[in-house]
Structure 1
Amino acid sequence: MATAKPNKKAAAVAIDLPECPVCMETMSAPIFQCQSGHSLCNSCTQNLMPPICPICRQNLTQMRNWQLEEIVAKAKVPCPNKSAGCVYTMVSVDMEEHLKECIFREMECPLGIVFGKCSWTGKLKDMMEHFKERHTDHCNATSDEEVELTNVDIKNDDRHFFLVAQTKFLFIITVKIDTLQNMVYWTIQHIGSKKAAHDHIYEIHVLSKQNPRRKVVFTEHCFNDAIKPEEIFRQGKCAALPLEMLVHYIKDKKLSFRFFIKRIPPAPKANKNDKGDGKNDNKPGPKGPGPKPKNPNQDSKPKQNGAGPSGKGNKNKAQA
């Protein structure tokens, strides 16, 4: 009797994932077994002392439960931040990437990450309020006014940081003076998903303190906050100026710039009737008032009376 082969490309299904009997957390690959076949997560298998199964008291092994790992890999699971408001479900192998950009995740203060001076953790919706209470100088930048940096010295490394709210989104502006690379960098990152970040572009207008007519403008796509600013600077996908040029924009150790964040309008939807195959290019338009179009097959010269071009037909008719 023939047996059906399993479909390796089967669609993901929504099931309850198995939990590790030790830590009670949802298991993900790699999953190991004891001598009796009970499954444990990787962390508990490596750290449980003595290495004995809590269910049957048999020794743990390094044997993988491949079948269970395959089931887990195909299963759709809700985001762990579901209780906080996240509505996304996905296969477990995509969960790690999603958690890096989930706007409902527990976040650290960006200033704490960069400068190590703040231990705040909380939700994105509370971040701006935290900045207004604890980091006032880092959340007062707006696109309506110039942003002025003080104590700017191209001989010393420096970094400036601003949290900006625009419509319902939050953005991070980072300015870095790098004496090793002999460059100054600007970048604006969206706090959220890669897709939402890619839907935005930003402009940086560097204004000269020495000559009001002089300025330089940069335009770039936004990255999201999952990527470190240093990586953006390394790739050169940001606003950047050599320090020897920057000196022409500094006066009394002050540097000014303006920024604009714009949402890219969605592309217009294609007309379903327009297939783009050129078949309708020569299709006649609708009928209307006016002279009828000329038939291309009709001779433009008036017909002569008679049987042929010699005119004999006319002569015979006259004699008759």
Structure 2
Amino acid sequence: MQSTTFTSKMLSEEVFTCALCKKLLEAPVMIVEDIGNICNTCFTNADNPEEWHAIPNTKMDVVLKELVFPCMFESDGCEYTNFYEQLHNHQTICMYRPINCLLPKTECKWNGKVMELLKHFKDQHPQHILKNSFNKFSFQLDITKTPINVIKLLLNGHEKIFLLKIWESGEERGLMNAIQEIKFSGEGKYVGVKYVGKNSQYKITVDRDPFPTVDNAKKICAAILNEVSDSNTNNITVTVKIETGKVQNMTEAVLKQLECSVCKELMRPPINQCLSGHSFCNSCRQKVTQCPTCRTNWSDVRNYSLEGVTPSVLYPCVYNHVGCEGAFLGNDIDHHERVCEFKIYTCPISDCKFTGNYSLCVNHFFLNHREFLIESTVFQETFTPIASNTMELKYIFEHENMYKFTFQRLASSCNWYVRILNDYDKNRRYYYNITITDAQVQQRKISKSVVCLNKDIAKNSDVGITFSYDDLSTYKKTNNDQINYCCEIRECEV
């Protein structure tokens, strides 16, 4: 058996080291006069190899193939050793090898080990990380912004790290799609990439590659993207689903039967059927007039047999593509999704198309709509009674709730409304209080309280807090007729 001491001695004396790059020789080795043993890469890439006096060192090739060597990144912590011919394959995917940041150098000049890549992205590029325990990831893509160059790190619940690359093709305009596994398992599984727009959807299958190769990139042409996208916003939802293998038990087989043939999501009650018996989720049923499978009309019969299975099925949260790792039984999933911390909201400002979870909405308001933002649940303002209809809208982000504050001045009264824009059922314990304070005598006050409103309740004088101008006349400032009020949102005591 080969002695590790012998190999170490030969490496320390540079017997197996290329005279130019100082790395382990790569076969076929060339012996160059006045230089020494040169590896194949250095010889092939030399500017003028024809001027060298060189001959093949075939004996060295034989010796190398019979020996076991440590990984070239041993000094960085890698403990891998193997025969020479297997060593090269390992070093191309070694987690200790140095790499640059995956983003363009103009955006980041980081250099480190592959195993440090995830930490670097968490620290410096968190917006490029998607995490999901169910191997399903989604994000928005604007196909009009060129050049398109998407880099996403995908993290699943089994500590697997995948790299998604989407970039523009150099030929006929289209997008190339590649999926690489950072620590490649060699299992050769595939990945489904789905482009979903308002008008249609399109799916492709991409083979997984070891990082950093992109041998199996798949192309989707621009014509298809334009057909799929929303004609108004040009936005497409890109969904990446990493397959986990064949069905292995009855539970997964049942889940397959619950998969809607259109959207590929698990169906929930009501489950609709066509006249031929094909079943689809209620959401897809509302979008089409005929069965997408057989083109027959819909029936009024529901698939109660499948619906009877759903209470025992664990459903991944609909917000799993943005970070929720929860799975809930069919009877509980709807309630969870109403209160999920990863729930996606649309910006309530009418001209804004931003969508994001609660924390992103807070940050979005702070950066883009600060004039509409109230940064506390207790705030004071002044107003002047006027004989015309005016309205002021503000938004408050507190208690993990999104509140819409409305102050309305009418000809004879003032109205205040505070509505909860996220789930109302869990937030009935919150109420708001409006207090009018005498400008001259601070101890003199008048106040009213009411439970915060459901976002769907129609605006009328019966559901808010109302003070008539007659009630407020004695609270005016003597100089300018202004009135002080304070709004406070509180939690009911249990």
What TM-score range do you get, normalising by the shorter chain? 0.5 to 0.7
Distance 1:136 1:22, change over 3 A: closer
Matched with 1:242 is: 468
Q: Which residue is equivalent to 1:91?
A: 330
Shift of 1:160: 2.1
Q: What number of residue pairs does the alignment pair up?
A: 237
Aligned to 2:432: 202
RMSD value, Cα? 3.9
List aligned pairs for 1:184-203, cutoff 5 A.
184-190=414-420, 192-194=422-424, 196-203=426-433
Distance 1:208 1:98, change over 3 A: farther
Distance in 2 (CA, whole Å) between partners of 1:47 and 1:261 is 40
- For residues 275-294 of structure 1, what are the structure 2 equivalents within 5 Å? none
- For residues 207-250 of structure 1, the C-alpha deviation after alignment (integer angstroms, 9 at most, x for no partner) is 34576554311223334xx524635x5543x4221244345445
Q: Distance in 2 between matches of 1:73 and 1:108?
A: 30
Deviation for aligned residue 1:206: 1.6
Given candidates 160, 165, 170, the residue that maps to 2:392 is 160
Letter in 2 for 1:124: Y
Residue 267 of structure 2 aligns to a residue whose secondary structure is coil
Task: Quote the sequence identity (%).
Answer: 19
1:174 corresponds to 2:423: no
Q: SS of 1:89's equivalent?
A: strand
Deviation for aligned residue 1:31: 1.1
Q: Distance in 2 between matches of 1:129 and 1:33?
A: 45
Alignment of 1:31 with 2:272, yes or no, is yes
- Cα distance in structure 2, aligned partners of 1:261 and 1:52: 49
Higher strand share: 2
| TM-score (normalizing by structure 1) | 0.57
The whole-number CA distance in structure 2 between the counterparts of 1:240 and 1:260 is: 15
Length-normalised TM-score, structure 2: 0.40
Residue in 2 aligned with 1:146?
A: 380
**Aligned pairs for 1:22-171 within 5 A:** 22-28=262-268, 29-35=270-276, 37-42=277-282, 51=290, 54=293, 57=294, 59-62=296-299, 64=301, 65-72=303-310, 75-86=313-324, 87=326, 89-91=328-330, 95=334, 99-110=337-348, 112=349, 116-140=350-374, 142=376, 146-149=380-383, 152-166=384-398, 170-171=402-403
Q: Structure 2 CA distance, aligned partners of 1:140 and 1:63?
A: 49
| Aligned counterparts of 1:222 and 1:44: Cα–Cα separation in 2 | 34
Q: CA deviation at 1:67?
A: 1.8
Q: Is the 8 A contact 1:77 1:89 kept in 2?
A: yes
Q: Which amino acid letter does the alignment assign opposite residue 328 of structure 2?
A: T
CA distance in 2, matches of 1:21, 1:248: 67
- Once the two structures are TM-superposed, the CA of residue 167 in structure 1 deviates from its matched residue by 6.0
Deviation digits for residues 67-114 of structure 1 (CA, Å, limit 9, x no counterpart):
22333466453331134344473536872x66455442221223x2xx
Corresponding position of 1:290 = none
| Distance change >3 Å, CA 167–CA 98, structure 1 → 2 | closer
Contact 1:141 1:162 in 2 (8 A): no
Q: Report which of the two structures shows the higher radius of gyration computed on alpha carbons.
A: 1
User: How much does 1:259 deviate?
Assistant: 2.6
Structure with higher RCO (Cα < 8 A, 6+ apart): 1
Unmatched 5+ residue regions in structure 1? 1-12, 267-320
SS of the residue aligned with 1:69? helix
The one of 218, 222, 232 aligned to 2:448: 218
Deviations 1:140-166 (A, max 9, x none): 4546652234xx453222222333344
Q: Distance in 2 between matches of 1:77 and 1:137?
A: 40
Tell whether the 8 Å contact from 2:377 to 2:396 is kept in structure 1 after alignment.
no
Q: In structure 2, the residue corresponding to 1:174 is in which secondary structure? A: strand
3-state SS, counterpart of residue 306 of structure 2: helix
Q: Which amino acid aligns with 1:128?
A: V
Q: Which runs of 5+ in 2 are unaligned?
A: 1-250
Partners of 1:197 and 1:187 in 2: CA distance = 16
Q: 1:215 to 1:190 in 2, by over 3 A?
A: same
CA distance in 1, matches of 2:377, 2:278: 59
Q: Match of 1:300? A: none
Residue 32 of structure 1 and its aligned partner are, at CA, apart by: 0.6
Q: 1:52 to 1:240 in 2, by over 3 A?
A: closer
1:245-291 superposed Cα distances (whole Å, 9 cap, x missing partner): 3454455464421133333444xxxxxxxxxxxxxxxxxxxxxxxxx
Match of 2:488 in 1: 260
Contact 1:107 1:123 in 2 (8 A): yes
CA contact (8 A) 2:314 2:327 kept: no
Contact 1:202 1:219 in 2 (8 A): yes
